[in-house]
A and B are shown apart, each in its own frame.
Chain A
Amino acid sequence: MFNFRDRPIRQKLVITTMVTTITALLLAGLGFILADSILYLSYLERDLSTLAQIVADNSTAALAFDDPASATQTLGALRARTHVDAACVYRADGTILAQYWRAGGFRFPPPEAQDLVRRGGELIVSRPIILKGRRTGTLMMFYNLGELAERIRLYGTTVVGVLLVVGLFAFPLSWRLRTVIATPISRLVSASTSVAETGNYGIRAQKLSGDELGVLVDRFNEMLAGIQSRDTDLKKALAEREAALRAAEEEHQRFHFMAESMPQKIFAAGPGGESIYLNRQWIEFTGLSFGQLKHWGWEQIIHPDDLEEGLRVWRHSIETGEPLQLTSRFRRADGVYRWHLNRARAMRNADGEITLWIGSSTEIHEQKEKEEELRRANEDLQQFAYSASHDLQEPIRNVAVYSEIMARRYRDKLDGDGLLYLSFLEEGGRRLARLINDLLAYTRASRAELSETTVDASVALRNALASLSEAMRETDAKVTYDPLPEVHMGEAHLQQVFQNLIGNALKYRNNASPRIHVSAAKRGAAWCFSVKDNGIGIEPKYKEKIFGVFKRLHHDQRYSGTGIGLAICQRVVERYGGRIWVESEPGEGSTFSFTVPHDESARRAKVQSVAS
């Protein structure tokens, strides 16, 4: 079908011009014919009315004296009007007085009441014949409108002729117009086409006129220039980007190689915790494919006993973003579970959102087994020490009791040497009893249940001072302390630590009376308590040693003791997830410090790290 929308502009121009011209001419012609017809009809009506009036006037006498001949003669004058087909004079009663027709066989209808009627190509004029104010008859004239049709035909022919002539002129004119408008456009089109085909933005369209099309060409060229410069920039940017991509790819390959060649098992997980990368070591260790291990596939290789804890710790890290640290067993390809230490850290973007978790799992099975052996041996030893010290109490007490009885009852019977030996026996028994007691205290500190309650540290300190009141009086000691916080620790345990530290300070004093100060400060996730004295101080090389069991630096009689107090303190503090240490200069006094973690989770983490 002919689709005007898709025609080239030059054809549109010609078609539009021609259609407009022809339509305008046709409409003008039609309007002219219509107006002429209307004008002609009204002229005709007026003319015929006048004619009818004259004939009617001339027929009054003929009617008055009933003279058909005269009336016929009057009507005969109408022969001069070619288009009057017929006429008739009716008497007042409707009968015909006289009639006239151009061609025979005209049948006259009864007189019309209406003045003017158009019927079947005839204009019928009806006029009353009035004599002295009285209607004496009617005149009717039948006018053939064929004349009008002739006129219209003539006009139509003229319009068609004019159309042909106009078309003859309009077509070349519109053809000329075509070159004025369509040529610049097709130049523009061919320019844009060659740009599109060659991709050469250096092409420019030629400007042919200063009108809107010229402006269009200018804008088109400016646009091309803009695109050209942007194209250059883009190519440069693309090259840079490609280089960057290549560098990134190399970097990626380096890291990939690094991850693959690590002895550890490396994994990467999304922010939701699903594994998205696992290195070769995982595949080799488990004997499973990446497809089986990815996302949460590790749940099937972790030891069922470690699964719950593993999920809990991993989820905690995902929610809080805290680094993951977890020991767990993974099943090897041969079905054997091996201990692993798993660590992971979150990678964050500029907004601080976690984008990736990178982690490693190191096999620590042998280490763990050794630790386990050691722990078991330690436990056995502690158990042995506890039972031994417990069981030894009775015989030792017997030794003490009976040597005392012997000294009392058989003093007179023993000679000097005997008494001396007896006193050695007594002294040895007492020391043994004290040793056993301290050993028991130490093993108890290791075994006692950790308290879940909190304690006001100042209460624990006051209790400790009360126990030491006698020694403080003897040494004229002054103990001061700052306001102390509440901490997660058993009251008896904290009191034990204070009592040991302050007791030591009283014991290892200078010649001056002891001055002791207790303070507490927040340090990270823990409270740090300090006990500062003005005693004899400790040489740096003994700083670690002094916390060992039965480690005594001074063996002279001035400083009595079994050397187990600091070991007990260390044991208690570490069991609560804290740490104990000393800062000292010989002769300048010592400051013993220990930490107590704030809350459960920190303590638990601490305990775990200590355990591993």
Chain B
Amino acid sequence: MAMQSQRRGRLSVPRLLALCISAYVGLLGSPASAAEGNLEYQVKAAFLLNFTKFIEWPPNAFANSSSPFAICILGNDPFGRALDDVVAGEAVGDRRLIVRRIDEAPAPQACQVVFIAANVKDLAKIMGGLAPGVLTVGEGDSFVREGGIIGFVIDNRRVRFDISPPAAERATLKLSSKLLSVARSVGK
């Protein structure tokens, strides 16, 4: 099925979600191989896209009314082509969705979502320097405790996420209660 989807050039969200099932199976097995890692990040890429549907960004998060909605990857990119595939052709509201790969903290209004890879150090500094209107997504149980808004976790061999509403509020983002209802834990 995955092969079929790739041949079409792009993975739709439902298809990705379907992949999730096979992903669990993959995760269940021996240490994650490169391919298995890919599957995990394909799910995470889909989650990244879905976050945009349950969160509302303030207007001042964008440079102007025509500027695109950017998902930026800071640090080592674990997605490969997966995120680009998921995002291709998608939009948030009227805004085109693009993926940017950055090496340092982004300028204000340049990114609306910043995925901070596991290898990035000095998280507190980076997040403290971010302007409001940026959703920070990271990996691991500690990411939310360290001031991030959403942190991916592996729970019972499934990709899930923790979420911190106070951090979101600080970033002037409005979280949908539905998003909170599916989070593994909701920080205080």
* Chain A residues packing against B (C-beta within 8 Å): 58, 60-67, 70, 73, 91-93, 95, 131-132, 134, 136
Could you list 6 further interchain pairs (A-B, Cβ under 8 angstroms) beyond the known A61-B54, A61-B178, A131-B53?
A: A63-B17, A65-B160, A65-B161, A70-B181, A93-B18, A134-B13
Whether a CB of chain A sits under 8 angstroms from the CB of B179 is yes
Report which of B15, B18, B50 forms a contact with A65, defined as CB distance below 8 A: B50
The answer to whether A92 touches B53, judged by C-beta atoms less than 8 angstroms apart, is no
A61-B14 in contact given A66-B20, A131-B53, A132-B53 (Cβ < 8 Å): no
In the complex, residue of chain A having the shortest beta-carbon distance to the beta carbon of B20: A66
Instruction: Find chain B residues with CB under 8 A from A93 CB.
Output: 14-15, 18
* Chain B residues packing against A (C-beta within 8 Å): 13-15, 17-18, 20, 47, 50, 53-54, 160-161, 176, 178-179, 181-182
A70 to B15, CA, bound (A): 20
A449: shortest Cβ distance to chain B, in Å?
A: 151
The answer to whether B181 touches A62, judged by C-beta atoms less than 8 angstroms apart, is yes
Report which of A58, A60, A73, A91 forms a contact with B17, defined as CB distance below 8 A: A91
The answer to whether B53 touches A66, judged by C-beta atoms less than 8 angstroms apart, is no
A428: shortest Cβ distance to chain B, in Å?
A: 184
The answer to whether A136 touches B18, judged by C-beta atoms less than 8 angstroms apart, is no
Tell me how many residue pairs across A and B have CB atoms closer than 8 Å.
45
A131: shortest Cβ distance to chain B, in Å?
A: 6
A61-B181 in contact given A93-B14, A132-B53, A136-B14 (Cβ < 8 Å): yes
Shortest 6 CB-CB distances between A and B: which pairs?
A: A61-B178, A92-B14, A67-B182, A64-B50, A65-B182, A70-B182
A453 to B161, CA, bound (A): 161
A232: shortest Cβ distance to chain B, in Å?
A: 109
In the complex, residue of chain A having the shortest beta-carbon distance to the beta carbon of B19: A66
Instruction: Find chain B residues with CB under 8 A from A73 CB.
Output: 181
A138: shortest Cβ distance to chain B, in Å?
A: 11
The answer to whether A61 touches B18, judged by C-beta atoms less than 8 angstroms apart, is no
In the complex, residue of chain B having the shortest beta-carbon distance to the beta carbon of A132: B53
A132 to B95, CA, bound (A): 14
B24: shortest Cβ distance to chain A, in Å?
A: 10
Instruction: Find chain B residues with CB under 8 A from A92 CB.
Output: 14, 17
* Most central of A61, A62, A73, A134 by chain B CB within 10 Å: A61
In the complex, residue of chain B having the shortest beta-carbon distance to the beta carbon of A136: B14
A61 to B52, CA, bound (A): 12
In the complex, residue of chain B having the shortest beta-carbon distance to the beta carbon of A71: B182
A66-B54 in contact given A61-B176, A61-B179, A61-B182 (Cβ < 8 Å): no
A93 to B22, CA, bound (A): 14
A65 to B50, CA, bound (A): 8
The answer to whether A62 touches B182, judged by C-beta atoms less than 8 angstroms apart, is yes
Instruction: Find chain A residues with CB under 8 A from B15 CB.
Output: 93
Instruction: Find chain A residues with CB under 8 A from B161 CB.
Output: 65
Instruction: Find chain B residues with CB under 8 A from A63 CB.
Output: 17
Q: What are 25 A-to-B residue pairs whose CB atoms are below 8 Å?
A: A58-B181, A61-B54, A61-B176, A61-B179, A61-B181, A62-B178, A62-B182, A63-B17, A64-B13, A64-B17, A64-B50, A64-B53, A64-B182, A65-B50, A65-B161, A65-B182, A66-B17, A91-B17, A91-B18, A92-B14, A93-B15, A93-B18, A95-B18, A132-B53, A134-B13
Instruction: Find chain A residues with CB under 8 A from B176 CB.
Output: 61
A73 to B181, CA, bound (A): 10
B56: shortest Cβ distance to chain A, in Å?
A: 12
A67 to B54, CA, bound (A): 15
Instruction: Find chain A residues with CB under 8 A from B17 CB.
Output: 63-64, 66, 91-92
A58-B178 in contact given A66-B20, A136-B14 (Cβ < 8 Å): yes
Instruction: Find chain B residues with CB under 8 A from A67 CB.
Output: 160, 182
A579 to B140, CA, bound (A): 176
B26: shortest Cβ distance to chain A, in Å?
A: 15
A134 to B178, CA, bound (A): 17
Instruction: Find chain A residues with CB under 8 A from B14 CB.
Output: 91-93, 136
A135: shortest Cβ distance to chain B, in Å?
A: 8
